[in-house]
Chains A and B, each alone.
Chain A
Amino acid sequence: MFRDVYRKFACAALLLALGLLGCGQYNQPPGGSAPLAPSAAVGFCDNPTPGCASASSFSLNSLRDLNVVVNWQNVPEGTHGQKVSFFLPDGNLYQAFEKSFAIPEGSPAATATVQALPVAGTWITQRSLSGTWQVTVALDGQVLESQAVQLTP
């Protein structure tokens, strides 16, 4: 008797859990496995083309903008907030950029964004703010990636 009740309760709990998962924030991937967490692959380019060749060091003599190319994976549908923050070699925040992007319903959960940091003619070149900069990339308030980039004199 007790075992039957327990089995029914366990089945109900399992169904409820599956139901909750189905209503969860992230897309259910084919095959019913757990949704993958969003991730970001970050690259640095001297031009804003998403497929540009990434590098980790740039000369201030020739760099016009530092372009941060973010390839987002497993981002659930809906409107999202991306924040790219640039930290000076002295550790202080230089500038942060917030930008929204939308993953439409039923579309692939991947997209690419480009965020440009103006360099040529700015305080970075005028005041020789060269050295190791740290760049963080956040999605919906959570920092998912932090990378260093060299700006050389």
Chain B
Amino acid sequence: MRILGRWMERIRAVSLLLCALLLAAAPALAREQVVLQKTATNPQTRAADAWLDQGSLTTNHGSDTTLQVQSWSNNRNQRALVLFDLSSVPSSGIKVATLSLWMSTAPAATRTYQARRVTSLWTELGASWTNRALCSTCTPAWTAAWTAGGGDNNGVTTQTATTGTTNGVFLNWSIAADVQQWYGGNTPSANYGTLIMDSAESSATQRTAIFSSKEDSTAAHRPSLTLTFIQNVQGLAATAGDSQITLTWTYPPQVPGSTIVSATNGVLILRAAGTSVTSAIAPTDGTAYSRNATCTNNVGGATNVIVFSSNTLPTTFNDSAAGDNPDCPPVDGTTYYYKVFAKDAGNYYSHNEGATNPSIYIPMTLGTPSATASLRQAASWLASTGSQTLSAPGIIPSNVVFIGAPSNIVSGIKPSDGTPMFGWVSVAGAITGRPPVLDASTSSTGVNVAYTADADANSYGFVYGINAFTGDILWMTNPTGLATNGFTAGPAVVVKKTSDALGGGYTGSHDLVVEGTRNAASTTANQVVGIDGNTGATVWTLTGGGTNPAMDIVAATPFVDYANHAIWVTSHSNAVTTQPSLWKININTAGPTATALATANLGNVSNSPAVTFTGDVLFVGNDAGTLYAIKPSDGTTLASVAGGDTKVVGSILLMTNSSPYTLVYAGATTVKAAVFNLSTKTFATTGAGTWSTTMPGGCAPSAPLGFPGLSNIYVGCSDGNLYQLDAGTGTNNGVRLLRANYTIGDPTLDVELSRIMAGCTNSRVFAFTFPF
């Protein structure tokens, strides 16, 4: 019997091991629960906490092992801030979120503590009652104040907790509503954490509670956020055929350290014809859905048809009469939009139940079936961006698509299948310019780095260096030290290794990030800064006025001219032609101040300039539609011509590498090609080598995209389409519909994967295979 017992134990052990292995290998489509807390195995890199003391307005308590909350009269209140790193939990529907703080010392009388959503970015070592962030060791030193002392917040009590008077207990707040917003449930909000404050501050008697911070030596007492969630499917792609569309997807791995609350189950797919599945609707948690024979089983209105429901773990859905949808297969010529909801065994779905737009960021794709192969279209992938984004995504081909959005969020996406590479990263303000991205072998930082710049609600601007693969912020700075200098353009980068490869010229040891300010309150004193790409330190500043001419707002990314060892910046000119709008800066300016080497008065310019490869001509278009050819040595005008439309949109494309230069540019409703002959210093907008294409329906085009040797030009438009124009003739030879009547942003190409990507006003970036 004893031997039998041993064998039974061994069999049980082997069985448990096999089960564990099977579980480890299984996809994690399930309701999961994870505790986010700084531990030896979870560094919570982006987490922060601090407490704010009204009695010591500028004292920082970010390094303390405690967090204090106090109500006391005569301006002696105290509040606590906590922020968790959510990067380990990617795109998900949040079901439960509980914030827990260990109260080591309770107030002498019971109090009610509120949890509120913080609405401004703050830093652990910069936050105080007055300030939200500062850097006293930066060059220049800078300080960012809260708009309202004691921590900017949304004014809404997410939940309250009653302290009692017992020491050594946990206090808990349900903050699911806030976390859902961080995951895009309503209008997305950047994750700036939670403020804990007494609901009746300024009491006559001092009432103080002391909590453990993430610096507490007892790990179990540190702040924690327990999330219950369902991850979305990944890699959703569509393939169109004749009267059929096939969707494929994968299931994400289980989040490290999570436990399974409810077992795996399957997916529910909603389809809409000609329009997106409504964001304001979603299946109800706990309710099972299925397609019916008449395809009238909808969710939230006739638009959103249930076309597939599976309780297994499918990775494909063939939307066709002969496939998985015999009842209402797709019709050729109609564009269909699909949303794929993951679900668990309890019929809980991967959306943010209870939020205003619960399904806004559910994985979506689209396809148009057709009997004619050339008329079929299907998206390679769609990715959520948190808000409209019209700037071109940054890219390291085949490695990462890096997107900044006006919702104060940056995201990193795999260009192959659209899978998020890291959870959304919150920055201080809106990002409206393209972030340049350098791979580790090119960047002087030695890491894959993206640079971006923003402007917050108070026009306060930061510039960031961000690890493009992980989302970790390497540095952030206010490079001018001023509180009114927001940034709307994307930065440019002087890349040391590129300069070296082109024969040298840039003598700095680190890459140099160059950015111009958009201080709309001034038409004369805007600035351009050169920033050390490795450290964020300001190397030099060019300021309008004084030794330089007056400088209006900078609205476009500067251009790095390696051939002439210069940086070219365009600006507005206060709408006059007596103030400069083109600026030349020495690439090796030592600083701390910079002086313009040359300027040109071209009227308002909102576009980036472009310099030929050999550096013999600079081309730029102004906001009135005039094209200029500029002599780079001194900024004088070689020639100018009316471009034939009311403005120039985006940078001018150079389609040839030597004179006569073929230029492609966009106007209000047209895309055109012109020719510039350097020897005769003349533009031609008609005749050989030129063309003019009016966009269908007179829609407003984006900046065109192309380069020498590419046979097509790509341009987004305000009718919701991405167009492919023949580079030699301008003929429209292909189109992809993203979303009818919405505006499509500037496109980006991944030439290694043959992918074209563009944002849209509907908060998505779309990717298609090119050529169309």
Q: Which A positions have Cβ atoms within 8 angstroms of B?
A: 48, 62, 64-65, 78-83, 85, 88, 90, 92-102, 105, 115-116, 118, 120-123, 125-129, 139-141
Contact = CB atoms under 8 A, between A and B. Distances in A.
B521 A48 contact: yes
A127 B572 contact: no
Kindly list the 9 A-B residue pairs having the minimum CB-CB distance in the complex, ordered from nearest. A121-B555, A81-B155, A140-B155, A81-B154, A100-B152, A100-B148, A97-B457, A98-B119, A80-B155
B763 A92 contact: yes
Contacts of B148: 79-80, 100-102
Contacts of B391: 123
Contacts of A80: 148, 155
Contact of A127 (B553, B556, B649): B649
B171 interface: no
Contacts of A90: 741-743, 761
A81 B152 CA distance: 8
Contact of B743 (A93, A115, A127): A127
Nearest to B200: A23
Contact of B147 (A100, A127, A141): A100
B120 A121 contact: no
Contacts of B554: 121
A120 B521 contact: no
Nearest to B574: A64
Interface in B631-651: 649-650
Given A90-B761, A100-B146, A122-B432, 7 more contacts: A82-B155, A96-B387, A96-B407, A98-B119, A120-B555, A125-B606, A126-B650
B457 A98 contact: yes
Contact of B187 (A96, A99, A128): A96
A127 B718 contact: yes
Interface residues of B, number: 55
A122 B430 CA distance: 12
B520 interface: yes
Interface string B742-772: 1101000000000000000111000000000
A98 B488 CA distance: 18
B700 interface: yes
Contact of A100 (B120, B432, B486, B668): B120
A81 B153 contact: yes
Contacts of A118: 455, 459, 486, 488, 518, 520
B575 interface: yes
A64 B553 CA distance: 10
A27 B521 CA distance: 37
Contact of A62 (B187, B430, B575): B575
B621 to A, nearest CB: 12
Interface string B507-518: 000000000001
Nearest to A63: B520
A127 B189 CA distance: 25
B702 interface: yes
20 contacts: A48-B521, A64-B520, A82-B155, A95-B406, A97-B457, A98-B457, A99-B147, A99-B152, A100-B155, A102-B150, A118-B459, A120-B553, A121-B555, A123-B391, A123-B432, A123-B745, A127-B702, A128-B700, A129-B743, A140-B155
A127 B187 CA distance: 23
A101 B457 CA distance: 13
B543 interface: no
A88 B388 CA distance: 10
Contacts of A115: 457
Nearest to B720: A90
Nearest to A47: B521
A65 B151 CA distance: 27
Nearest to A103: B148
Contacts of B649: 126-127
B202 interface: yes
A97 B408 CA distance: 10
Interface string B651-668: 000000000000000001
A133 to B, nearest CB: 12
| B147, B518, B604, B718: most-surrounded residue (chain A CB, <10 A) | B147
Contacts of B763: 92-93
A125 B607 CA distance: 11
B85 interface: no
A91 B761 CA distance: 9
Nearest to A65: B520
Contacts of B718: 127-128
Given A62-B575, A81-B119, A97-B457, A123 B155 contact: no
B551 to A, nearest CB: 13
Nearest to A79: B148
Nearest to B187: A96
A123 B390 contact: yes
Contacts of B155: 78-82, 100, 139-141
A61 to B, nearest CB: 8
B154 A120 contact: no
Contacts of A140: 154-156
A96 B649 CA distance: 25
B480 to A, nearest CB: 17
Contacts of B406: 94-95
| A79, A118, A139: most-surrounded residue (chain B CB, <10 A) | A79
B623 interface: yes
B149 interface: yes
B384 to A, nearest CB: 13
A96 B388 CA distance: 11
Given A98-B457, A100-B120, A121 B518 contact: yes
A38 to B, nearest CB: 10
Contact of B553 (A79, A82, A121): A121
A116 B429 CA distance: 13
Contacts of A97: 457
Contact of A98 (B154, B202, B486, B745): B154
A83 B459 CA distance: 15
A79 B77 CA distance: 13
Contacts of B146: 100
Given A121-B606, A122-B488, A92 B153 contact: no
Contacts of B553: 64, 120-121
B606 to A, nearest CB: 4
B593 interface: no
Nearest to A95: B406
A90 B742 CA distance: 6
B45 interface: no
B458 interface: yes
Interface string B479-508: 000000010100000000000000000000
Contacts of B152: 81, 98-100
B153 A127 contact: no
A121 B455 CA distance: 14
Nearest to A84: B457
A129 to B, nearest CB: 7
| A78, A80, A82, A123: most-surrounded residue (chain B CB, <10 A) | A123
| A100, A105, A118, A120: most-surrounded residue (chain B CB, <10 A) | A100
Contacts of B154: 81, 83, 98, 140-141
Contacts of B151: 79, 100
A125 B147 contact: no
A96 B518 CA distance: 18
